[in-house]
Amino acid sequence: MASPSAFSRLNLLLPKPSLFAANFRRTQFHFFPTLSSRTISSSSSSSSSSSSSLTCSSYSNSSMKELQNPTPKRDNHFVVLGIETSCDDTAAAVVRSNGEILSQVVSSQADLLTKYGGVAPKMAEEAHSQVIDQVVQEALDNAYMTEKDLTAVAVTIGPGLSLCLRVLPWNAQQFFLHYAVGVQKARQIAGSFKLPIIGIHHMEAHALVARLTEKDLQFPFIALLISGGHNLLILARDLGQYVQLGTTIDDAIGEAYDKTAKWLGLDLRRSGGPAIEELAKEGNAKSVSFSVPMKQHKDCNFSYAGLKTQVRLAIESKKIDANIPISSASKEDRLARADIAAAFQRIAVLHLEERCERAIQWALKMEPSIRHLIISGGVASNHYVRSRLDMVVKKNGLQLVCPPPRLCTDNGVMVAWTGIEHFRMGRYDPPPPAEEPENFVYDLRPRWPLGEEYAEGRSDARSIRRARLHPSLTSIIQASSQQ
């Protein structure tokens, strides 16, 4: 059985802090001794854990009462710095608890993306390390603040890109080092300025940012989260209470966009998605026929590996040469590429439409009061995706909520905001020590489901190595509230 410290970075256990930053910082908390960190040993690294092995304390009653009140409170008492280094962008933002975005800085690794045609973990880590200090400083400066004005620091601690994770052992932290750049920076600031720290689930942050932009968005709602590494359909019943309706059995849609763009010789500087979206406008989506994935599986899971193969074969059969950039392609060549881009996008999005339609039926059975379906994650900034899903959602009597594109792609605002939502509930870690021991290993969570799987939705097509999963965020929160 794993020790409690193995699951502790997102501390869900502490009494609700004073909401006033100054008071809060003067308060002496008595935290659970090992909760803030762990040093990974060979025994803990193999902790293929189940939620039953969690040892957690309870929320205070007042926190539990607030948990049942889903309306986001719009106080402005505290200010959180959010740091995000989970993929190819280094991002930081300062957000006030009333939802005011005081600053937002994103440094992108566009050149690396173009050079390597995707995210190379080692390169990404180096690039994050080079700019992290500057990005955080700029976020503070733009907010006209110093670290002393902050109430807490929030930072993404998992999960990793699903693509990498299929080949990753549980403890292969070296493939996950780009996360550590952000976590290290967050811990340095929190340690030096005695600030609480909040570990954030990247996909929860993509979902919850919709509550910042849509002030009346209340639980329960459905979220379709579509990015480069993840495809998730969830029912968000309450803060931290998620049911996973569907996930991808192989590649995420963003990965399929990126590869299609690469094979079509498109300019990848803004990543593949926007390049395909642009080019698709010039093409005929019905001129190439691709089949919609997983038609025979009546569930809400996704698969994009097969569509990728169909696209690759079509590109080969039309003798499109990715080494000739689209900017130098002949008129016919450009049109052939545009047709493939349009046909790919149509089918990729049809797959989303079918799954969302079913997810709405499932979710309404569990929570008839649902009014909204939100879409977020990098792919949700795509206008075609938005308009197609808007039709599906409206047809089912719901309303679509899409954060603005700059908050759909990875950013620090979503991390800071999710930190604010959890901080209000008393879920945070105490300030780390000012000096971290040299052998300190950060508690990063490469395989960290957001919620428990919807039992009726389990698919035979999925063969995820469950033993290597970290307990889901929801199971951690539930375990802590039951004690």
4 binds ligand KG4 per the rule CB under 6 A: no
The one-character DSSP state at 471 is: P
277 binds ligand KG4 per the rule CB under 6 A: yes
Q: Which of 158, 160, 199, 272 binds ligand KG4 (CB under 6 A)?
A: 272
- For residues 54 and 64, what is the distance between their CA atoms, to the nearest angstrom? 19
User: Which entry of ligand KG4, Zn ion, none binds 271, CB below 5 to 8 A by partner kind?
Assistant: ligand KG4
205 binds ligand KG4 per the rule CB under 6 A: no
- For residues 333 and 339, what is the distance between their CA atoms, to the nearest angstrom? 10
Stretch that binds ligand KG4, among 222-230, 289-297, 316-324, 438-446 (CB under 6 A): 222-230
409 binds ligand KG4 per the rule CB under 6 A: yes
Q: Which of 90, 156, 271, 472 binds ligand KG4 (CB under 6 A)?
A: 271
Q: 267 and 327 in contact (C-beta within 8 Å)?
A: yes
17 binds ligand KG4 per the rule CB under 6 A: no
- For residues 424 and 83, what is the distance between their CA atoms, to the nearest angstrom? 18
Stretch that binds ligand KG4, among 171-179, 333-341, 372-380, 473-481 (CB under 6 A): 372-380
Q: Which of 227, 241, 381, 481 binds Zn ion (CB under 5 A)?
A: 227
410 binds ligand KG4 per the rule CB under 6 A: yes
**Cβ closest to ligand KG4, residue 170 vs residue 257:** 257
**Cβ closest to Zn ion, residue 180 vs residue 209:** 209
Q: Nearest distance from residue 93's CB to ligand KG4, in Å? A: 14
160 binds ligand KG4 per the rule CB under 6 A: no
Q: Nearest distance from residue 312's CB to ligand KG4, in Å? A: 17
**What element of type H or E holds 46?**
none
Q: Nearest distance from residue 209's CB to ligand KG4, in Å? A: 11
431 binds ligand KG4 per the rule CB under 6 A: no
* 287 contact partners, CB below 8 Å, separation of at least 6: 339, 342, 343
Beta bridge partners of 444: none
109 binds Zn ion per the rule CB under 5 A: no
**What element of type H or E holds 66?**
helix 61-67
84 binds ligand KG4 per the rule CB under 6 A: no
89 binds Zn ion per the rule CB under 5 A: no
* Near Zn ion in 377-436, by CB under 5 A: 410
User: Which entry of ligand KG4, Zn ion, none binds 379, CB below 5 to 8 A by partner kind?
Assistant: ligand KG4
Q: Return the amino acid letter for 96.
A: R
Q: 318 and 330 in contact (C-beta within 8 Å)?
A: no
Degrees to nearest 5, angle at CA 269 with 308 and 322: 45
Beta bridge partners of 234: 223, 244
Q: Nearest distance from residue 36's CB to ligand KG4, in Å? A: 26
- For residues 226 and 251, what is the distance between their CA atoms, to the nearest angstrom? 11
Ramachandran region of residue 71, left (φ > 0), alpha (ψ -120 to 50) or beta? beta
Mask of contacts with ligand KG4, 282-311, x by CB under 6 A?
Answer: ------------------------------
- For residues 191 and 194, what is the distance between their CA atoms, to the nearest angstrom? 5
- For residues 482 and 324, what is the distance between their CA atoms, to the nearest angstrom? 60
Tokens of 173: 């932290």
Q: 391 and 430 in contact (C-beta within 8 Å)?
A: no
> What are the residue ranges of helices labelled H in 234-281?
253-263, 272-280
**Cβ closest to Zn ion, residue 86 vs residue 151:** 86
Got the DSSP string for 98-120? Answer: TS-EEEEEEEE-HHHHHHHTS--
Q: Nearest distance from residue 226's CB to Zn ion, in Å? A: 9
Q: Is the dihedral of CA 438, 122, 112, 227 positive or negative?
A: negative
248 binds Zn ion per the rule CB under 5 A: no
66 binds ligand KG4 per the rule CB under 6 A: no
User: Which entry of Zn ion, ligand KG4, none binds 412, CB below 5 to 8 A by partner kind?
Assistant: none
Residues that bind Zn ion in the complex, under the rule CB under 5 A: 227, 410
Residues that bind ligand KG4 in the complex, under the rule CB under 6 A: 87, 227-229, 254, 257-258, 271-274, 277, 377-379, 381-382, 409-410
